[in-house]
Amino acid sequence: MAQKDEAFVPGTLVVARGSTVAFPNLDRVRHSIYSFSKPARFEIDLYGRDQSRTHTFPVSGSVALGCNIHDKMRGYIRVVDTPFAGKTDANGYVTLSGVPAGTARLTVWHPRIRTPSGEVVKQVNGATDQKISVRLR
C-alpha cells in the first residue's frame, strides 16, 4: 500500500489474515499512517521518501487508513480469512475461482455501503450460482 501523490495506492487492498503489508513512501513529503479500526489499531511514525514500513494484520475485518499529516488521505485494507475473496474491477465485477459446492455466505464490503459493518451478505450456492449479482443501495 504505497503513498504516491499524497494518496494511498491502491486505495483498497484485499489481503489474507496474517499478512504483512508494506507501506512504501514514494512521495517527497513524509507520511504518518494510522488506523483506528477495531481489527488493527496502529500508528506509524513519520517516514520519508523511498522509505517503507510494514504492519501485520492478524485479525480479519475492515481497516481504514489515514495519515496524520494529510487529512484527505484515505485507504482501506480488507483482511479476509478465506481464499475466496477478491477486489472488484472498475465495473464492479470479481471472479472467485474454485469455490466448493454447497451453500456459502457471500459478503460484499465497500467503505460507502450504508450498513453498520459496511457489508451486504447474501446466501449463495457454490454448485449452482455461477453468476451472482448483488445490488447495493
Interface residue list for Cu ion (CB under 5 A):
31, 67, 69-70
Instruction: List residues bridging with 64 in a β-sheet.
Output: 76
| Least distance CB 31 / Cu ion (angstroms) | 3
Closest residue (Cβ) to Cu ion?
67
| Least distance CB 40 / Cu ion (angstroms) | 18
**C-alpha to C-alpha distance for 108 and 59, rounded to whole angstroms:** 18
By beta-carbon proximity to Cu ion, the closer residue of 76 and 109 is 76
| Least distance CB 16 / Cu ion (angstroms) | 26
By beta-carbon proximity to Cu ion, the closer residue of 59 and 69 is 69
By beta-carbon proximity to Cu ion, the closer residue of 28 and 112 is 28
Look at phi and psi of residue 92 and say left if phi exceeds 0, alpha if psi is from -120 to 50, else beta: left
Burial track 57-81 (b if 16+ CB lie within 10 A, e otherwise): beebbbbebbbeebeebebbbbbbe
By beta-carbon proximity to Cu ion, the closer residue of 31 and 78 is 31
CA dist list (Å): 81 to 3, 21, 107: 26, 15, 12
| Least distance CB 32 / Cu ion (angstroms) | 7
